[in-house]
């Protein structure tokens, strides 16, 4: 009798483990964006990606590579060469806490230091250093949330003498499916109090397909808000004002084709299913 009970328990345990493994595999189905920022070269019928994420074995982004497009010979198609490398350093709890760009050709280096509370990004220091004279200026950002999305950012810029010279307030509005509708950035100078710059960026006509940058692990500056969007915008506009007087306006529209995973073909992916 005892032997029968033991056999039953062993079989039940194996069956339960198998189900647990299947459930875990099911929830981990995901596509990881690898190459992006495509540039189309109609003359050569080429599409070249100018950015790339490098992952470790745990699928954490550990590097971002950016490329220039070059042409070695007039008769040859264009190709890419590395322009800059950005490394991401993680905390023991696997949160990105430092984003380090290598110095550029002018010996300027950008390093971002990120701080979290309960897993949420709450502050960032964005430090720009001239390697030649070792002088640094920095932006200090504080983030506020509504429904687990960043909705406002307070920024303060300090010059190389650590004196506050610029203030900035960014407001983000979301619509259906958490898609970003607008980002409004208002900047003011400490030394010139009557000078106020405002930029309004609007996103619209979203499709119903997957956003490749949704839940992007690393809050890179260019994707810090758009990574909340479920879908992809097909219309974009940007207006710039100084003291409420219009200075510039631009608008763009996009048409996408999609892959078999329901992502727009603006990137390449590595999927685990």
User: DSSP states of 79-124 as a string?
Assistant: EEEEEEEEEEEE-TTS-EEEEEEPP-TTSEEEEEEEEEETTEEEEE
For the stretch 141-178, pLDDT in tens is: 999 999 999 999 999 999 999 999 999 999 999 999 99
Question: Which of 142, 139, 143 shows the shortest CA–CA distance to 126?
Answer: 139
Structural domains present in the chain: 34-271 (2.40.160.150)
Q: What is the DSSP letter of 78?
A: P
Copy the structure tokens of residue 45: 């019928």
Copy the structure tokens of residue 262: 């329901």
pLDDT of residue 98: 98
Q: Tell me whether residue 94 is exposed, middle or buried, using C-beta atoms within 10 angstroms of its C-beta: 0 to 12, 13 to 18, 19 or more.
A: exposed
User: DSSP states of 129-161 as a string?
Assistant: EETTTTEEEEEEEEEEEETTEEEEEEEEEE-TT
pLDDT of residue 19: 47
pLDDT of residue 44: 67
- How much of the chain, in percent, has pLDDT values that exceed 70? 88
State the pLDDT confidence band at 140, using cuts at 50, 70 and 90.
very high
Contact 35, 267 (CB under 8 A): yes
For the stretch 39-67, pLDDT in tens is: 887 766 788 999 999 999 999 999 999 99
User: Mean pLDDT in the chain?
Assistant: 88
């Amino acid at each position: 009798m005892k032997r029968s009970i033991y056999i039953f328990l062993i079989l039940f345990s194996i069956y339960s483990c198998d189900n647990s493994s299947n459930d875990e595999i099911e929830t981990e189905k995901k596509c990881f964006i690898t190459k992006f920022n495509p540039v189309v070269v109609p003359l050569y019928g080429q599409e070249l990606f100018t950015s790339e994420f490098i992952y470790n074995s745990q699928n954490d982004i550990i590097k971002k590579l950016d490329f220039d497009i070059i042409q070695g010979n007039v008769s040859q198609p264009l190709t890419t060469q590395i322009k800059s490398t950005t490394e991401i350093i993680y905390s023991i709890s696997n949160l990105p806490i430092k984003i380090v760009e290598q110095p550029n050709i002018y010996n300027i280096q950008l390093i971002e230091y990120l701080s979290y509370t309960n897993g949420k990004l709450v502050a960032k220091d964005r430090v720009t250093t001239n390697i030649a004279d070792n002088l640094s200026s920095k932006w200090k950002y504080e983030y506020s949330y509504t429904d687990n999305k960043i909705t406002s950012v307070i920024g303060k810029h300090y010059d190389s003498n650590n004196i506050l010279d610029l203030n900035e307030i960014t407001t983000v509005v979301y619509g259906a499916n958490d898609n970003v509708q607008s980002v409004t950035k208002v900047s003011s100078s400490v030394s010139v109090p009557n000078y106020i710059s405002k930029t309004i960026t609007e996103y619209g006509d979203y499709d119903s397909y997957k956003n490749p940058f949704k839940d992007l692990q690393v809050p890179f500056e260019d994707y810090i808000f758009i990574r909340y969007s479920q879908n992809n915008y097909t219309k974009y506009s940007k207006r710039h004002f100084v003291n409420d007087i219009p200075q510039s306006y631009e608008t763009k529209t996009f048409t996408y084709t999609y892959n078999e995973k329901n992502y727009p073909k603006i990137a390449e992916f590595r999927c685990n299913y």
